[in-house]
Structure 1
């Protein structure tokens, strides 16, 4: 695998070692292989790790197939993939309601990851999970297309540098914006569910704004954290469960009325601003 990356205009001058370790988060083992094999080039010429690089330089890495591990998945149906954004390093797709993000058993072939593997196979690329959406949730979801970019996307997510907006339809009249900061933990009585647990739970922050208030209210939710079922548990905790939620709601609907409508991120290598919108949404 060969990756040629041109450093963006705002790239600080640093050594190749600093770039690989601190900026690109290349694992120590892979950095060792790159160094001893002399598999790093700057502007086409071999480069030593102590040498400097700067904006405009093209850094080329040659990585062997077995330097990174990959969990093979069965190929699904490539025709089910709806691409919202794609380049050589990452892809954002529009997940349908009722589809699992990834398989839990080797024999599963009908998850989004299976379908994406089939879509990428002709390009000799593979999908890597960055984050997940519940099976019942639709909308924008991000995958890495190579192991080099995966840890950088993970860091962006962890540092809250990937903006994710959701649409939801909730029970009852929610008249004003609210930020919910209740901690979330596991339900000891039902392993499928999460509960508000201020003593032992994990920090969770959800910002809710109102699009339309009525007997059922249309709201936007922005996540600062990514806990399992976070939006669903938080909205239920303030008395406005999501319509059609089989675990936390009561009002019947053909589906869970939760949709990942927008995603904003800065490209890990080019620093380009990427904005995607997953349509159709729940109301627009």
Structure 2
């Protein structure tokens, strides 16, 4: 059932000369600018009893605003009883630790069985929140922390925080090759020119910035800590491949097995069997969208990455002793 939305308020004098859509955004901050503009254009907002469907209309202050509309639930998606590793939850947000192989949002090839379906089962009221409260995604085989909004107000504030780069997201990864120092990749990312499911560094792409630092060096691999300044699709994977250090196991961007010289068969086999990008969202920090309190969460490195790291570490120590490094 659709949720009825009704609001009545007076335009403050401080909005003199401001556009109608800007005024509504100030008066009703629980809703996104795009949603408010949709309501204006659909004729769901009146000023002094008259419907105004022009977003650029100027305000004088003192007008009576009435919003009378509905928010349709996400009827396309069904709730499914799927396990969620919830690390934090309150009335406004929840934070999950996503495992590998778990798609975040239904799409082509994945009509259900996703994080979104699980969220709708865990928290049925999310059916009236766009995308069931999902404000950022992780790739199917990337593990780690995601925040989800449980209300429209929380989602609006979290989206604005993301856009203002006020949410900190840090990742751990294992990359191919020896990286001597950290740095920044500041290269635009857009759709690949010929492979439409791939992303690429491209002149016409959107601004994208990834910070990285070296945590540990092995004989032919590097453990990294990365921080996103922007949040483009496949951003870390594309940026690391762009600087010729694709992530281990990445099936799309060149992370094929690259065992070091004289590596043990066990290490070679572990690299061959690592079928996902070695990437984990290890830390998430944000200001709570309702209370404003800063909150931070950490997620342990998953077992497959711990195993690979230990084997690379042992291989490096062994070859240092034997003088082959």
TM-score band (shorter)? 0.7 to 0.9
TM-score normalised per structure 1: 0.75
**Once the two structures are superposed, what CA deviation does each residue of 1:47-66 show, in whole Å capped at 9, x if it has no partner?**
xx98xxxxxxxxxxxx99x7
Match of 2:217 among 210, 213, 218: 213
**Once the two structures are superposed, what CA deviation does each residue of 1:74-102 show, in whole Å capped at 9, x if it has no partner?**
12224x10112211111111111111101
Match of 2:252 among 244, 247, 269: 247
Aligned mates of 1:168, 1:238 — CA distance in 2: 15
Aligned mates of 1:174, 1:213 — CA distance in 2: 7
Aligned length: 242
Gaps of 5+ in 2: 5-13, 16-22, 50-60, 258-271, 310-325
Aligned to 1:87: 90
**Once the two structures are superposed, what CA deviation does each residue of 1:207-250 show, in whole Å capped at 9, x if it has no partner?**
00111011211101100111111100100111110000000122
TM-score normalised per structure 2: 0.66
| TM-fit CA distance, 1:107 | 8.0
Is residue 73 of structure 2 the alignment partner of residue 70 of structure 1?
Answer: yes
| TM-fit CA distance, 1:69 | 2.8
Aligned mates of 1:89, 1:105 — CA distance in 2: 30
Aligned to 2:289: 268
Structure ID, larger Rg: 2
Is residue 175 of structure 2 the alignment partner of residue 154 of structure 1?
Answer: no
Q: Is the 8 A contact 1:74 1:108 kept in 2?
A: no
Greater helix percent: which structure?
2
Q: 2:146 aligns to what SS in structure 1?
A: strand
Gaps of 5+ in 1: 3-13, 37-48, 51-62
Aligned to 2:196: 191
Aligned mates of 2:25, 2:160 — CA distance in 1: 15
| TM-fit CA distance, 1:105 | 5.5
Counterpart mapping for 1:119-130 below 5 A: 119-121=122-124, 124-126=125-127, 127-130=132-135
Superposed CA RMSD: 3.0
Residues 144 and 114 of structure 1, relative CA distance in 2, 3 Å threshold:
same
Aligned mates of 1:224, 1:107 — CA distance in 2: 29
Is residue 205 of structure 2 the alignment partner of residue 201 of structure 1?
Answer: yes
Aligned to 2:314: none
Is residue 300 of structure 2 the alignment partner of residue 279 of structure 1?
Answer: yes
